[in-house]
Structures are given as C-alpha cells and as structure tokens.
C-alpha cells in the first residue's frame, strides 16, 4: 500500500527543493549580475544586488580584446569531437562487458575507474613532451584525443550500467533471427538504451566543455577553447571582476542553454533502470 502524502508535506519538500536549487545557482546568478556592473560597483562594500548602474561595457570590452567566436568554435569542436569518439569506442566496449563478460571484466572496469583517481598533473610532463614531439601542442586534434581518453572510463562505466538493465533474452532473440553483431548494436541495443546513451553523451559534453587543466596546459591561442578565454582575464595587475564575469558568462552560456533544453532527457537517462 502506497503511503499517503499530504499537501503540506508536498509543499514543504517543494519549497526545500527550490531553496537548495537557488543556493546552488546563486553563484552563477551573482556572476551574471556582476558582468553588468562597472569595476567600481563590482568591488563596492556592501555589495549591491540589483540597484547599481547597469552597463554592457564589459561585454563590449571582452569582444574587442578577445576573439570569442574562435574560442567558442574550438570548444564546440573539441568537446563534440571527443564525445563522439568516446561514444564510438565506449558503446561496443560496454556491450562486450555487459553481455559477453569474462573473468577479467570486473578487474578491467576497476582499472579504468582507477585512472580517474590519479592526479592529472602526475602525467602532465610525459604527455606534454609527447605532444611537443608529435606536433600536437595547441591543436584541436591534440585536445580531442586527451579529452576523449580522460572521459572514456566514465563513459564506459555509465553505458555498462545502462546496458546491464537490458534483458539478455531480447538480444538472444535478435541473434536467433539472424542479426549480426553490428545490427544488434545499431537496431536492438541502441534504441532500447537511448535514454542512457543520451544522458552519457550530454554529461561527456559538459565534462569536456568544462575541462580546464589540459586545455590550459596544452593550448595557447590557435586551439584555445573558452576555458583559456576565461583564464586570459586573470592578469598580474589584478582581477577585473566585472570583465572576468562577462567573459565567464559568455563561456558558460552555450552549455547552460544546452543543459536547460536537455534537462528532461538528462534526468530520464540518469534514472534509467531505477524503476522496475
């Protein structure tokens, strides 16, 4: 028998959820408001929330000083390219681990996950030297490779979890009907796991878009994405909070819009298999 939920309890939980959501979103809101302030207002004490001199001068300065379009295009290409390659590798790998496991499958999964526990700075020097010798420094291909390999363990783990929720009987029935491995992956497994695949793809795009360590160390100008675009506003002369906020707002705007329009798909994929 299901428990009866009163209207008061629903209202309390709803209000609590909105409060937590507002607290989490408040730093982003404050950054957006600061981007419309003058540098004097940005440093004012006590800080003003809404009642200040609104200006778009910071955005104009950012556009004049930096090539936002180039940085945004680099972010789109590197994040999108690394995600597509990671998905192309991860789907067959997760299928093999979920439906054709061996004695070493769990060990391989744990080993892949352990690579995410290693500090990235621990392998910076060898990777930097390899990229220098092969001419991959400050190239989009170089960033795509390192972002793909960095996020691949998480992608395989997530897809493996989703694939495990699919009954093996359905795949066996497809094989009995003469489906090859390729057709099984494309026409049987992928449509059934589409919510999980979509959420994994979106999460990988977000992780690649927000990656700062590798992009700051392996790119300078030609392939520099929006993370480098933001870092360029941290100067030895000090931090100009209003201009830095404007640059940060421009950098996160595309991924915020993507997350807003795909939030239902993302939640559906993250809860895929949770309800039987």
pLDDT in tens, 92-115: 899 888 888 888 888 888 888 888
Q: List the domain boundaries for the chain.
A: 66-232
Query: What local confidence, expressed as pLDDT, does residue 36 receive?
Result: 92
The pLDDT confidence band at residue 83, using thresholds 50, 70 and 90, is very high
Report pLDDT digits (tens) over 170-205: 888 888 888 787 888 788 888 888 888 888 898 899
3-class secondary structure per residue, the chain: CCCCCCHHHHHHHHHHHHHHHHHHHHHHHHHHHHCCCCHHHHCCCCCCCCCCCCCCHHHHHHHHHCCHHHHHHHHHHHHHHHHHHHHHHHHHHHHHHHHCCCCCHHHHHHHHHHHCCCCHHHHHHHHHHHHHHCCCCCCHHHHHHHHHHHHHHHHHHHHHHHHHCCCHHHHHHHHHCCCCHHHHHHHHHHHHCHHHHHHHHHHHHHHHHHCCHHHHHHCCCCCCCHHHHHHCCEECCEECHHHHHHHHHHHHHHHHHHHHHCHHHHHHHHCCCCCC
* Digit-coded pLDDT (tens) for 14-67: 999 999 989 998 999 999 999 999 888 888 888 888 888 889 999 988 888 888
**Cβ 155 vs Cβ 86: under 8 Å:** yes
**pTM of the predicted model, to two decimals?**
0.84
- Superfamily, domain 66-232: MetI-like (1.10.3720.10)
């Amino acid at each position: 028998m299901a428990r009866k939920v009163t209207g008061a309890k629903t209202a309390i939980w709803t209000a609590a959820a909105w409060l937590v959501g507002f607290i989490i979103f408040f730093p982003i809101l404050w950054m957006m408001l600061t981007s419309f302030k003058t540098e004097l207002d940005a440093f004012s004490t006590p800080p003003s929330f809404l009642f200040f001199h609104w200006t778009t001068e910071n955005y104009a300065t950012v556009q004049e000083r930096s090539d936002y379009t180039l940085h945004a295009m680099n972010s789109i290409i590197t994040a999108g390219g690394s995600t597509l390659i990671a998905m192309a590798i991860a789907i067959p790998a997760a299928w093999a681990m979920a439906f054709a496991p061996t004695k070493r499958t769990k060990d391989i999964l744990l080993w892949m996950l352990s690579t995410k526990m290693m500090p990235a700075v621990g392998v910076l020097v060898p990777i930097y030297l390899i990229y220098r010798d092969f001419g991959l420094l400050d190239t989009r291909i170089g960033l795509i490779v390192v972002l793909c390999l960095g996020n691949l363990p998480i992608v395989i783990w997530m897809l493996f979890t989703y694939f495990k929720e699919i009954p093996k009987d359905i795949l066996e029935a497809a094989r009995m009907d003469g489906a090859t491995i390729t057709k099984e992956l494309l026409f049987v497994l992928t449509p059934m796991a589409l919510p999980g695949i979509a959420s994994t793809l979106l999460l990988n795009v977000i992780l690649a878009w927000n990656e700062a360590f590798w992009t700051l160390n392996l790119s300078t100008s030609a392939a520099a994405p929006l993370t480098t675009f933001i870092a360029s506003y941290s100067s030895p002369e000090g931090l100009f909070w209003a201009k830095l906020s404007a640059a940060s707002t421009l950098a996160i705007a595309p991924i915020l819009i993507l997350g807003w329009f795909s939030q239902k798909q993302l939640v559906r994929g993250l809860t895929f298999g949770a309800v039987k």
